[in-house]
Each structure stands twice: as structure tokens, then as C-alpha cells.
Structure 1
Amino acid sequence: MNTHIGCSATRFTALLPATPRGARQARLLAVGQAVAWGLDGEPVGMVVGELAANAVTHGRVPGRVPGRDFRVVLGLAGRVLRIEVVDARGDRIPCPRDADPGSEGGRGLVLVAALADRWGVEEGVTPCKAVWAELDLPGDRREP
């Protein structure tokens, strides 16, 4: 597995393969970084886990094409943590939907909307898109 990770005091990035294993690794890396910044890793892990799973399921290009992996970006600015998951399917814009009561999937964006203070989708450099979520942090936290 070819993973590229970058980190500074307020920004973390990881390029991961668009596979279920890559989605799990994205969640674990994001939780670890959140904890290193002194944040609660649970909501970060849940949001990243859902967005990464969507990138793998709906945002990947069929076949393993170099440069078609997904990127996780965490950015800490003041009292806001921004989470972005960038994939190579800008033509597939996600939206929350009502899942069938018996289905195993289809609730990821509903969960993201419940956990995040804001979320959305931005077009990136063709063919990419970024699905993002922002979490407002408590006012008494210390800067990393």
C-alpha cells in the first residue's frame, strides 16, 4: 500500500488507496492526529470514516489508476476543525438520502450532517471534488 502523509502544526494530509483498507486507515490516522492536537478523536473518526467510505464506494475510478486515490485533509484554524476528503469523481456529487430501513448503507451523509456544524461539496481541479465538514471546537481549547 502506498500512503503519503504530511503534517504541520495545524494541517494534516494523507493520500490513501481507494480501498476499504484505505478508508479504515484514513479513520485511524485522523483520530490519531485529532488526539495529538488535543481534540476528541471520536467525532473526527466518525466523520472521516463516513466520508472516506463514500470516497471508496462512490468516488473511486474503476480499476486502480495511478493518481486516482483519495486524500484526507484536516485543517485546524482557531476553534474550527475542517475535514476534507478529496476523490477523483467530480461528476458524482453526494447528497443525503433516506435509506431503506432494512439496508446496511445509505446513512453516511446523514450521520456527517448530524455530527458536523457545517458540511458541503466543492468542485476541485477536474476530475476531483472535495466533500468537507467543519466541527466547531470548545472555546477553552489550547492551540497545538
Structure 2
Amino acid sequence: MNWADLDSGHCSIARAADIVGDRWTLLILRDVSRGIRRFDELSAHLGIARNILSARLGALVANGVLERMPYAEEGRRPHQEYVMTPRGAELLPVLLALIAWGDRHLSEEPPVRAVHNGCGHEVRLVPTCTAGHALTGGGEVQIVPGPGARRVDRE
């Protein structure tokens, strides 16, 4: 099958990138996963304009990646903070892969380390096939059309 015959807009990477593919969105997800969950804290930590932050948070909530949760501090009016949904938590390996790639190619020394809460050892991503074979290089993987692939209608 020729890849040019398939609808590239129906690709899972394209659809995921529509939701999480911009810089601010990835940085918001990074911070929320680290425990920075309140609008003002996110705005200050990221140095992002409030209107852009509001738009990105709204899109992440609308797409089921984040959820708004109410909180109240004594003597203050109620506010909302943002937490990862189960769908959002599934993006952790993506964030870890970006950290690993950035550490390998863009940093003298890793600025952060991901460690397992249970034992304190560093977390590594090791892709495997469904038979359990560890994949060590890009040449070991071939992307093939799946059951959801759609042909381009050229009429």
C-alpha cells in the first residue's frame, strides 16, 4: 500500500497534535503533572499571557485531558485548580520521552530526573513489542496501516 493513498489527517499523530502539539500546551501539562495546578501559579511559572493560558486550559478540559476541581482557601472565595484526568495521565510517557530526547540532544546535564516514587530509581522508557522484545533503534519499527486507516478519495 502506498502511504500517499491514505488520509494523513486521520493519522493518530495528527489528531493528538491537534490537542497537545503546541509548546504552551506541553509546558502546561508538564507543570500540572508536577503539581502546579492553579491558574495564577501556572501563569507566573510559565510566564504565559493569561488569555493564552485560559484558552489552552479550556481546550485541555474540553478534550478530557484536564479537569477543573474546586478548592477554597480559608477566608477567600472558591477557585478552581486543574488536575490530570486518566486520559491526561496517559500522556506521561510522552512527556518522559520528550525529557529523554531533550536530555540526550539538547542538554549538557539533565535539568530534571524522573524517579519512581516506590523505589527512587530513575525511570526509563523502554519500548517493547507485544511479544515483549525490547526495541533499541528506529530501524526495528515499521509503521503499517491499521484497521482505522482511510484511503484518500481522489474524485
State the TM-score bracket (shorter-chain normalisation).
Answer: under 0.3
TM-score if structure 2 supplies the norm length?
0.24
Structure with max Cα Rg: 2
Report which of the two has the higher share of strand: 1
Report which of the two has the higher share of helix: 2
